[in-house]
Structure 1
Amino acid sequence: MPGRKNIYLDYNATTPVDPDVLNAMLPYFSENFGNAVSDHAFGWDAGEAVENAREQISGLVNCKPSEITFTSGATEAANLGLFGFCERYRNKGNHIITCKTEHKAVLDSMKALERRGFELTYLEVDPEGNIDLKQLEEAINSRTILVCLMLANNETGLIHPMDKIEKIVHSANVKLMSDITQAVGKIPVDLEKLNLDLAIFSSHKIYGPKGVGALYINKNNIVRIDPYFFGGGQEKGMRPGTLNVPGIVGFGKAAEIALFGMEVENERILKLRNKLEKELKNIEGAKINSEDADRLPNTTNVSIDNIDGNLLLRKLNSLAISRGSACTSNTIQASHVLKAMGLSDEQGLSSFRISMGKYTSREEIEFAVKEITNISSLLRKTMV
């Protein structure tokens, strides 16, 4: 159909760079191009920009600027945090607890740690995606050094009760790490209140540039990690290499914008999500996954019975929606998150995620509902 507009509904995968973020970044490509550690005016200007961004980001998540270490993204931050922490504290124990529904960036790192001799416990989840807090408590033993649980799930939007988790973990004198990537910028995240020991998040989920993220290391809790990379003294020796000044500046600006616009935007997005889900549930065989759980306001995960999910996504070619995580969406297999929640392979393959953002309009949601409804009906008829 000539001139048809494609509608983007995959904001949990990535977001477009906010125009104000781009404008903040541009001077650091060509005018203020100095290396942030150079000892002259160009370097000093770049260094000041980096520290200003560190303050902006710490303001969004309520922590000390010095607790933020810049990385190339949340995946690198996960590797740096997990390997750096676990190897440093290996003499105290080799047991780690995580969950079956974590992001692949964490799960793949856990598999690598297992190959290095660490023992892993993977917590089960109920049909909504919630962990059993009693199972968590019982899984902790004298060799446990770390619990790693995400704050909000990237596929279903489910939010774990981190306040309760923190009390259980710290009362056992164990450290707590969390992937807060999907939560930051969508819901208030207060690291001081959450009392996490380590946390990871990234810029491109909050309308900042790709290629920059952060590792949070709680100074009050006296957490130490061993360097995982070598070759320079940047970022206190934790992440050596020339700093990505334009990206960091963009990350900071995106954090500043997110902080001041979050409450109003959440109300608007939640109304759109409620409208979307109400109408999608009119489709024969449709089910909202994690519907009754505490969720992010922008995320909907839907299963439609007796539908070829791969064909559905191909037919919905004017809608940018996702089968699940962007890191695994090119692999045609049922989501590990949905399978952990008890869905069959067939149900998992007939599921998709819609994630909205600040440029999503009511008209786009109405169009998406019509398209999904019509294509689902068409596919069901051809399957009969």
Structure 2
Amino acid sequence: MPEHLLYFDYAATTPLDPCVLEAMMPFLSGMSGNASSIHQVGRAALQALDDAREQVAFVLGCQPKEIVFTGGGSESINLAIKGVAMALRAHGKTHVISSAVEHHAVLHAIDYLVEYEGFRATLLPVDRSGRVNPADLSAAIRHETALVSVMYANNETGVIQPIAELAAICHEHGVLFHTDAVQAPGQLPLDVQALGVDLLSLTAHKFYGPQGVGVLYMRRGTPLVPQINGGAQERRRRAGTENIAGIVGLATALTIAERERAQYVHQLRTLSERLIGGVLQRIPHSWLNGDRTCRLPSIVNLGFACIETESLLLLLDQRGICASSGSACTSGSLEPSHVLLAMGLSPEEANGSIRFSLGRHTTAEQIETLLELLPDLVAQLRAVAPCA
């Protein structure tokens, strides 16, 4: 990361941990074999693959055979949702449930099932704090429901969902449960037995691992139709030559994230509370989006009346501060966040909100620098385009 930049976009991607790179280097700089080859180079690759699978399984509290390596979080999510839904369609299960605040990887996978595979879908509402009401899930489950997918922690607001409670409701009705846990490593427990989930998706670049490699935990016995066909890799659940360097990096990063979780959470909570308190105190007509306590300490989504997100992001970028809107960019203009709209914000409120996400290299000095600059930038924008 360039020294002059203040990086507040860790929820988008994290820098590669030097220890992770060191673990990956033998498979990047030397001869990295194909784990399906029977010669000694292939066997060495297979051993590295098996070791990584055991490391990931240990953190998740599952069996190594229940781990599927993928090309990232979106692939893991699509494999879980489409794979399970298609496998259960033959049994008359043609309905899926999710929430209105999911990542687009989930929402678009469900859109695909509805548009091309004949499924029906229910999106659960959330309250103003961004949380799903378990009673709404109970009421939405039908006899033909195949799968429920609700994210562990939201990528825009950091709001944490009651995953264990939601999963238990699903199992009472004989329905499988998947969670997008992409933002959770290093901040929330990942024991799949305690969570009660049947499927869980992760991606390495959210916890200081490499980009382009992910994980799907799939409880033993869960039906699945593979979405990539070819060889017999990953027990025929995901074809393609394994990315050994990336997988080794993922396993190393996940192990470090879990080992340092308590310290990391304490560091981030202190910094994020300073940021929230400072903004709310110094900038009139500002607010925090999402629950203040039941959220990841790394994500702070703040709203400012009478400004446009894009303009504030550009001013911040000109001063070397990287942040994000958390919303999609369409035709060159920022659309209101579907997450914030689902939480009951108006389009104007959603368009005046910014996500600051903190990480391992965020310092108290960086928070203070941001707090010194932000009030003047907001005031500058309000002076140019004051509220009607």
Match of residue 88 from structure 1: 87
Match of residue 72 from structure 2: 73
Query: In the aligned structure 2, how far is the partner of 1:329 from the partner of 1:151?
Result: 31
Query: In the aligned structure 1, how far is the partner of 2:45 from the partner of 2:327?
Result: 35
Give the 3-state SS of the residue equivalent to 2:339 in structure 1. Answer: helix
Question: Given the superposition, is the C-alpha separation of residues 297 and 350 from structure 1 closer, same or farther in structure 2, using an over 3 Å criterion?
Answer: same
Cα deviation for residue 4 of structure 1 reads: 8.0
Match of residue 183 from structure 2: 182
Does 1:382 pair with 2:381?
A: no
Match of residue 209 from structure 2: 208
Aligned amino acid, residue 277 of structure 2: K
Match of residue 298 from structure 1: 298
Match of residue 349 from structure 1: 351
* 8 Å CA contact retained: 1:104, 1:327: no
Match of residue 276 from structure 1: 275
Cα deviation for residue 61 of structure 1 reads: 2.1
Does 1:170 pair with 2:171?
A: yes
Query: In the aligned structure 2, how far is the partner of 1:121 from the partner of 1:129?
Result: 17
* 8 Å CA contact retained: 1:32, 1:45: no
Question: Given the superposition, is the C-alpha separation of residues 95 and 293 from structure 1 closer, same or farther in structure 2, using an over 3 Å criterion?
Answer: farther
* 8 Å CA contact retained: 2:327, 2:335: no
Give the 3-state SS of the residue equivalent to 1:131 in structure 2. Answer: coil
Identity of aligned residues (%): 38
> What are the equivalent positions in structure 2 for 1:202-281 lying under 5 Å apart?
202-219=203-220, 222-281=221-280
Residues 171-208 of structure 1, C-alpha deviations (whole Å, 9 max, x = no match): 01111011011112222211111121111111000100
Paired residues, number: 380
Does 1:334 pair with 2:333?
A: no
Give the 3-state SS of the residue equivalent to 1:204 in structure 2. Answer: helix
Cα deviation for residue 328 of structure 1 reads: 7.8
Cα deviation for residue 60 of structure 1 reads: 2.2
Residues 137-172 of structure 1, C-alpha deviations (whole Å, 9 max, x = no match): 111111111111001000000100112111211101
Instruction: Calculate the TM-score normalised by the size of structure 1.
Output: 0.96
Structure 2: give runs of 5+ residues left out of the alignment.
none
Query: In the aligned structure 1, how far is the partner of 2:226 from the partner of 2:330?
Result: 28
Question: Given the superposition, is the C-alpha separation of residues 272 and 349 from structure 1 closer, same or farther in structure 2, using an over 3 Å criterion?
Answer: same
Question: Given the superposition, is the C-alpha separation of residues 157 and 264 from structure 1 closer, same or farther in structure 2, using an over 3 Å criterion?
Answer: same
Instruction: Calculate the TM-score normalised by the size of structure 2.
Output: 0.95
Structure 1: give runs of 5+ residues left out of the alignment.
none
Cα deviation for residue 330 of structure 1 reads: 6.8
Give the 3-state SS of the residue equivalent to 2:302 in structure 1. Answer: strand
Cα deviation for residue 52 of structure 1 reads: 1.1
* 8 Å CA contact retained: 1:61, 1:184: no
Match of residue 55 from structure 2: 56
Cα deviation for residue 291 of structure 1 reads: 3.4
Match of residue 373 from structure 1: 375
Aligned amino acid, residue 268 of structure 1: Q
Does 1:130 pair with 2:95?
A: no
* 8 Å CA contact retained: 1:208, 1:254: yes
> What are the equivalent positions in structure 2 for 1:94-113 lying under 5 Å apart?
94-113=94-113
Give the 3-state SS of the residue equivalent to 1:352 in structure 2. Answer: strand
Question: Given the superposition, is the C-alpha separation of residues 12 and 306 from structure 1 closer, same or farther in structure 2, using an over 3 Å criterion?
Answer: same
Query: In the aligned structure 1, how far is the partner of 2:360 from the partner of 2:147?
Result: 36
Cα deviation for residue 377 of structure 1 reads: 1.4
Does 1:196 pair with 2:207?
A: no
Aligned amino acid, residue 56 of structure 1: Q
Q: How big is the alpha-carbon RMSD for the aligned residues of Structure 1 and Structure 2?
A: 1.6
Aligned match of 2:366 in 364, 373, 376? 364
Query: In the aligned structure 2, how far is the partner of 1:53 from the partner of 1:186?
Result: 21
